Each structure stands twice: as structure tokens, then as C-alpha cells.
Amino acid sequence: MSELFKYDDDREAASAAKVRALEALLIEKGVLGSDSVDTVLSHFETMAGPFNGAKIVARAWTDPAFKARLVEDTPKAIAEMDFPAGMEGAEGEHMAAVANGDGVHNLIICTLCSCYPWPVLGLPPYWYKDPVFRARGVREPRAVLKEFGVPVSDDTEVKVWDSSAQIRWFVIPERPAGTEGMSEAELAALVTPEAMMGVALVPSPSASPRPVV
């Protein structure tokens, strides 16, 4: 990942410490129960996260008809899969998928704040909320992608999609070479949140050098 958007370990550690202190204070004052905290953590560990998005992408890679339905009506297509109830809640309303392919690469940002499809991508990383990333993603997406290790050729169109409370985008990345014959579960294991945001490519199982888009 680009040095510009790499996590600041000290800042993250300080933020985590503040969250723990606030949590402890709220529990001590009776404002928040420890069982409530456990419920929220369990939700993001077992029900809402990038593992869901990876399964969706793997299905799209192996089933072209499903992929077409996913792009046309994302919530309806996701409803076909065996996910727990509530995928449409907690930042999952109005999700929409766009597909990378020959001559096109998609990048997801949120210029206003940090709207993000939590049920399929998990919680947004720190750099996604950074004003620098949000602004540069609009102005110079090719430069941003290059810094993330995704150089885009001049003949490839870069489409930037702005997530909001009205619509939350995610990317169906291109299926990497060398994955013929792999099961959906094996394919899903290759998919990263960054690839579903458009700031990374899915590497081939052979870990070959990252190709130019």
C-alpha cells in the first residue's frame, strides 16, 4: 500500500486506547452493558465483514449469470445467497456493485464522509476516511492507484464511484490467472477488501508479479 495512506501505528494505538477507556467508562456508569459490546463485536466477526464480499465475488467469478444480476440489481442478487438476515442493515442499505474488466478499472471513494458497505467490506480502514485520499481519489485517481501498487494503462478507463447514504458501492475485481478449477471457497480466500474497493488487484495463487491493468 502507498506510504501516503499506510496506517499510522501510533495514531491507531492511541485511538484504540481511547476507545477501550471510553468503553470501560460507559460500562462502569451503566450506560453500556458488556453484553452489548460483545454482541456488536460478534456481529462484525461472524455476520458482517469482507468474508461476505469475498463470497459474493467468488460466486460472480464462477457464475456469469449471477454476475450480471449482481451488477443489475445488487441487493436482489445478494438475497439469492445464504447470508444471515440483516445484510441490508447497518450501512448495507442500497448497495451496488461495479465490475472491473477489459479497458475499465473502478475505484470507490466517499467524498463527503466515509460511507461504506459494512456487510460486505467490514469497517472502513483509517485511510479511506482521510480527506487527502477522498480529494485525490477524485482529482487524480490514476496517481492514487499507482501509489497503491495498481498502475493503470492509458487505454484503461478509470471510473470513480462516490459512496453515500443513498448508495454504497463495491467492486467486483477481475479474476486472476491461474485460478481455473478452484472452488468458490478457494477463490473467496484470494479476495481482499482492498480489491473490492479498487485499490488492489487480486493476486494469482502463484503470486506472480502484479500485472499492469
Catalytically annotated residues: 110, 113-115
Q: Is 110 annotated as a binding residue?
A: yes
DSSP 101: B
Judging by beta carbons within 10 Å of its beta carbon (0-12, 13-18, 19+), is residue 167 exposed, middle or buried?
A: middle
Query: At 107, which helix (H) or strand (E)?
Result: strand 104-109
| DSSP letter, residue 128 | G
Could you tell me which of 76, 168, 190, 62 has the C-alpha nearest to residue 122?
168
Write the CB contacts of 128 (distance below 8 Å, at least 6 apart in sequence): 109, 110, 114, 116, 197
114 marked as part of a ligand binding site: yes
Q: Are 79 and 86 in contact (CB under 8 A)?
A: no
DSSP 157-204: EEEEEE--SS-EEEEEPPPPTT-TT--HHHHHTT--TTTTTTSSPPPP
115 carries a ligand binding annotation: yes
Is 36 marked as binding a ligand? no
40: cell is: 456488536
Binding site per annotation, positions = 110, 113-115
Residue numbers belonging to the annotated binding site for Fe(3+)? 110, 113-115
